Amino acid sequence: MSELTDEYEVLSVEVGEHAERVATVAIERPDARNALNGRVRSELKDAVATAEADDDVRALVLTGGEGTGAFVAGADVTDFKGRGPVEQREASDRPRVYETVDDASIPVIARINGHALGGGCELAQACDVRIAASGAKLGQPEINLGLIPGGGGTQRLARLVGEGQAMRLVLSGELVDAAEAKEIGLVDEVYDEDDLDDGVYDLAASMAEKSPIALEFAKKAVKAGSRMGLEEGLEYESELFVQLFATDDKDEGIAAFLEGREPEFEGK
């Protein structure tokens, strides 16, 4: 049985309901359009860490609770009122939820079922793949509050869409619809609402069938591409590739291929 429970205050959790070995964690703050407050951040960090350690989970889907029109509408701005730099520096201590998601050893898919704004857009950027409903909107409107993105939006966004597009979104606070978000590279796939789950869980299921060790190493190698120089990245990729030759999963994968059957990876 999965170690993930549904005993969170502001999250709901499902494991295996949509696809085998796929967990879904949904933010459930309908009164605040799933905005990120301290409780949401704390519970999300715990849920991601628990999913990583759970042998029954090999892929994770993050999404917003239904019926709000939001994936995450942003940070809970009421938390900022009266807060000075000392308090905010304490609140910004790393690892934050964004780093927890970004550094997760298992694949994390953002199921963007509504608006992903500010911290919600940054949360989606921290995921490995972003799949949006056609009616979703995304953006970094912090500039309208006299602020800048503080959850990685000035860094991950530019790496996803390029500096020019990132400047446009961050400096104007403009929102883009899902189609334009796909066009500029902010999201990877867009589906009509009725087809969103098929798109998300078909992909998640295909990932969850793979070797957990290979998934982890593949994530590390791809992420290194935007964080290292080319030569350094190639060396890192080569080292990870070689290390996989010490795993039982590599032996199982090769044997299954030669025998014409589906592999049964155990994460060893």
Q: Which residues are catalytic?
A: 122, 142
In angstroms, the CA 6 to CA 182 distance is 33
In whole angstroms, give the CA distance from residue 248 to residue 233.
26
Which residues have a Cβ under 8 Å from the Cβ of 148 and sit 6 or more positions away?
A: 142, 154, 170
Cβ pair 250, 212 in contact under 8 A? no
List of residues 6+ apart from 163 with CB closer than 8 A: none
Contact 115, 73 (CB under 8 A): yes
- How many Cα atoms occupy the beta-carbon half-sphere of 195 within 13 Å? 7
Measured between alpha carbons, how far is 106 from 49 in angstroms, rounded to an integer? 10
Q: Is 145 within 8 Å of 154 (Cβ atoms)?
A: no
